[in-house]
Amino acid sequence: MTRRKFTPEFKTKVVLEALKERKTAAQLAQQFDISPQQISLWKRDFLASASKVFESKPKSKKELEDEQTDKLLKVIGQQKVEIDFLKKALM
């Protein structure tokens, strides 16, 4: 017998139903055709990693480049304002 593969979406759906506590694990197991132990395992894993959802994600290379470009453009703008000010002061 081959092992069945479940998508993350399916697992999430089952876990969210289990967290609602409207049905017992046995009822959910029958509804989704899986074992109650599997539901408990997925629920435990889900709750253990739930806090990671709120962790900040590392920025991508493009985001870092965009930030650096914005900073440089801000510096250039500031320098242009200062140069224009000094030109007027010399006249």
Domain ranges of the chain: 1-52, 59-91
Which residues are within 8 A (CB) of 14 and not within 5 positions of it... i.e. 6 or more apart?
28, 32, 34, 39, 42
CA 60 to chain centre: 13
Percent of the chain with pLDDT over 70: 99
Domain with residues 1-52, CATH architecture: Orthogonal Bundle (1.10)
- Identify the pLDDT of residue 8: 94
Alpha-carbon distances of 17 from 8, 21, 50, rounded to whole Å? 14, 7, 16
Q: Which residue has the tokens 């900040």?
A: 56
Q: What is the mean pLDDT of the chain?
A: 92
pLDDT-derived band of residue 17, with 50, 70 and 90 as boundaries?
Answer: very high
pLDDT-derived band of residue 59, with 50, 70 and 90 as boundaries?
Answer: confident
